[in-house]
Amino acid sequence: MLGIGQLYAVAVVLGVARVVHSSASISYLPVLVEADLLQHANARLGAASSVADSAGSNVGAALVGAVSAARSVLADVLSYLVSAFLVWRIRTREPAPEPAPAPAEGRGGLARDIGEGLRYVAGQPTIRTVITALSTLGFGLAIMNTYWAYYLLTSLRMSPSAFGVMVGVGGAGSLAGALLAPRIASRIGIGPTIIIGFAVSPLGHIPLLLAGPSLAWQIALAAALAAQLFWATASGTSQRSLRQTLCEPRFQGRMQAASTTLTAGARPVAAAVAGALVLLLGVRGTLAVGAILQVVPVVLLLLSPLRALREMTSPLARNAEPPVPPVRPTRPIREGAS
């Protein structure tokens, strides 16, 4: 009884809420845990997200088959309410923000905050490079994701069951990457971990562009997806921890908002570009363009100091003055002397 317009409206509202929630939750994490635990905390969050994605896809499919698609949305609504309740129960308070300067005449506080956040990100070479690489990678992935499932189910004639199994294998790879991310970063360094994750993404799409409709290719695609998501999750938790560590506390929210806005904001543009490309190049050609675009962020990272970065250092620790060693008195100190 409802029109497609209402579905689009709900999707827009939900998308905006998801972007706000994502920016706030990632910015809030450094308040909840110590700096040296950020990598492990992000790894556990990534592992939980991987499990939720895999389990949610299977449960959602079963629920749709049992009670219909429309009624299944009620379960989705309930899950958001449970999530909101759990977040509400977190009692850790954020430190009081520094007093902001009075806004200039004719310029609102929100516009000023956005401008300050963008200027801060632009002035931080490592954070700026990582966010630029993320947004470029997200644009290429969004082009591919527009037709990825369609290509597998139609051109490669993959059955829905096989598609579900492949997604499940990919989820297992993502879970392993999240759990092993801290160990990998400590072994080869935080910078190389991030770069490898970005590099595996375009390489992981090569089997997709060469595949044909056969069981052997389906197995190869599942293995490639697992490897891709393994390194994507390991890299994602590492770069998120790096940005949280390097960013000054008062700019955490604005830095993450800039990252989320650039990454998520590119998706609708990428979808429109994919629709135009498919008229010129076909589905396989459009997928190839998306894969090639993912090489750009790899080049950006390789040309940055990130390739030599092995450990994360907090800006507060880096800028702090070294402690002054205690001086032993050479004469008795009078009582009450300061």
Residues of the chain falling short of pLDDT 70: 96-110, 313-338
CA 242 – CA 253 distance, rounded (Å): 15
pLDDT digits (tens, 9 = 90+) for 102-121: 554 444 566 777 777 788 88
Could you tell me what percent of the chain has a pLDDT over 90? 29
Q: Residue 324's pLDDT is what?
A: 39
pLDDT digits (tens, 9 = 90+) for 126-179: 889 999 999 999 999 999 999 998 999 898 998 877 888 888 888 889 889 988
* CA contacts within 13 A on the Cβ side of 113: 16
Tell me if the pTM is above 0.85: no
CA 252 – CA 247 distance, rounded (Å): 6
Q: Residue 322's pLDDT is what?
A: 37
* CA contacts within 13 A on the Cβ side of 265: 9
Residue whose tokens read 């040296």:
36
- Give the Å distances, CA to CA, from 58 to 39, 52, 206: 29, 10, 27
